Homo-oligomer: A and B are copies of this chain.
Amino acid sequence: MSQRVDVAVIGASGYAALELFKILLRHPGARVAVATSRQDERLDSLHPCLAGRLDLVCAPFDADRVAKHCQYAFLGLPHAASMEVVPELRARGVKVIDLSADYRLKDRETYADWYNHRHTDPEGLAEAVYGLPELYRSRIGSAGLIANPGCYTSTSILALAPLVAHDLIERSGIIIDAKSGVSGGGRTPKLSFHFPECNESFSAYGVGRHRHTPEIEQVLSDVGAHSGSRDPVDVIFTPHLVPMDRGILATIYAIPKKPAVEHDLLEMYREFYKASPFVRVVGHLPATKESAHTNFCDITIRVVKGRILVIACLDNLLKGASGVAVQNFNLMTGHPETTGLF
């Protein structure tokens, strides 16, 4: 474990990639050997904050070059682009942690419906393990391809999994009112993320049709299938844009199957996550700033007028993207789950 593994970051220009670089620089078991982007350019031109810390020149993706130098690749590509690259890397024996949405939905038709794109890699889909360590830790260690979860998704799933696993809530009509900082929208300039448009403003978007919806439902239904009931989980998911850089908070409303007691639920959550170092079940109402720039997910519970409220937050770029990616990498390489992440 004292030896560093050479890794590649494919698609180096985005915000998740930048966080990956920053974590991996501190990771005793990894070395970034290859970074790719559409053009040849210095990494510190793409990300000036890396000047003096990581001396790399990006080149366009070349599977042979990646496979020659690296055993692991992190993919920071847009959806649909990932599924072009993954088979090439897997064919060459490179293990892949894919941050896109391409391998998250098990059902190809669901994928096609929500992403308007036919899925072209059914083998990869069959191989992929959903990379949420808190639920799938045991399968991640031996995986060759990780579908790294979405940011809203992890927040929502971690918040609801204990209730669903213990079959404590109605599976239909769960309301997830979620709020995200602007970095969740990526690094490509567009009017809705233009500073004078979204600064000093708050709005809902994608109501009823955000792509993280089927992902949340698939994973929670899977969690629920191991409890008494096999009913699928069905959520109303409403994302909002918050004028801040990073952080996601979800306020979730669920109907208990039997009367709920706040204190008992908190205890049950603590028990559920006792082996998960990055979930903090807290008594107070958490603010996104408390988990910003960390890999923690903070969760609390309230019972209000017979309804269960779960409030959960995390840093969308870390626990919601690159932090959990390294958590998965740690499990795959035999490092302690927290290496490089505290």
Contact = CB atoms under 8 A, between A and B. Distances in A.
Interface of A: 15, 25-26, 48-49, 51-53, 173, 175, 177, 179, 181-183, 187, 189-191, 193-205, 207-208, 234, 236, 238, 240, 242-247, 249, 251, 253, 277, 280, 282, 284-294, 296, 298, 302, 304-305, 307, 309, 311, 313, 342
Contacts of A307: 173, 175, 236
Nearest to A173: B307
Copies assembled: 4
8 contacts: A48-B287, A51-B282, A175-B253, A181-B202, A187-B196, A189-B190, A208-B304, A242-B242
Given A49-B291, A202-B287, A243 B342 contact: no
B48 A240 contact: no
A288 B25 contact: no
A102 to B, nearest CB: 24
B251 A309 contact: no
Given A175-B307, A181-B202, A238-B304, 8 more contacts: A48-B284, A48-B290, A175-B175, A200-B246, A200-B289, A202-B242, A203-B285, A208-B304
Contact of A289 (B197, B234, B290, B292): B197
Q: Name which of A205, A207, A284, A313 has the most chain B CB atoms within 10 A of its CB.
A: A207
B26 A201 contact: no
Given A189-B193, A195-B182, A202 B244 contact: yes
A342 B280 CA distance: 26
Contact of A251 (B194, B238, B296): B238
Contact of A242 (B51, B183, B243, B313): B243
A247 B205 contact: no
A200 B244 contact: yes
Contacts of A244: 199-202, 243
Nearest to A47: B290
Q: Name which of A25, A190, A305 has the most chain B CB atoms within 10 A of its CB.
A: A305
A232 to B, nearest CB: 13
A130 to B, nearest CB: 24
Contact of A204 (B175, B191, B285, B290): B285
Contacts of A247: 200-202
A212 to B, nearest CB: 14
A164 to B, nearest CB: 18
